[in-house]
Homo-oligomer: A and B are copies of this chain.
Amino acid sequence: MEQHDFFMRQAIELANENILNGGGPFGAVIVLNGVVVGKGSNQVTNHNDPTAHAEVLAIRNASKNLNRFDLSNCVLYTSCEPCPMCLGAIYWARIPKVFYGNTRKDAASIGFDDDFIYQELSQPIEKRSILMEPLLSSEAFKTFKDWNLKVDKKAY
């Protein structure tokens, strides 16, 4: 358990440093075999990038460093429970284990929308606050059929 504390404190320290640098209070590290292979802190306002959450940047950093998109032998330590965007990214990266400091309720208490977005995603499409409409479905599905027929496709 001491090792887990060690890496979580690195994630929290990234969050602390980031506040001083004008960013949001979130940090994350990704660890493989006891070594940090990726890290990130929230750069949404500093980089004008709504996707630049700590976990997303840590995943991108680790994937770049390891030269692969599959991080299934890694562990993620994040100073706050991942939002739906970041948790989705964690599933796509196939990271099997996540340690988190604050919860989504803690995040809501300081003004971040994570909990609201979780509620929205579990709603059926027609009940969400975002308007979502299907369009040109058969033309779009032709693309999927072409993909399916491609012999040398890189699946993931």
Contact = CB atoms under 8 A, between A and B. Distances in A.
A70 B44 CA distance: 10
Contacts of A116: 91
Contact of A88 (B4, B84, B107): B84
Contacts of A97: 130-133
Interface residues of A, number: 86
Contact of A102 (B12, B16, B137): B137
A27 B141 CA distance: 13
B143 A96 contact: no
Contact of A19 (B25, B80, B120, B147): B147
Contacts of A31: none
Contact of A89 (B50, B80, B148): B50
Interface of A: 4-5, 8-9, 12, 15-16, 19, 22, 24-25, 44-45, 48-51, 53, 56, 59-60, 63-64, 67-71, 77, 79-81, 83-103, 106-107, 109-111, 113, 116-118, 120-122, 130-137, 139-141, 143-144, 146-148, 150, 153-156
Given A25-B147, A84-B84, 19 more contacts: A5-B136, A8-B136, A8-B139, A12-B139, A15-B143, A19-B150, A24-B156, A48-B68, A49-B64, A50-B92, A51-B51, A51-B92, A80-B144, A84-B91, A91-B120, A95-B130, A102-B137, A102-B143, A111-B155
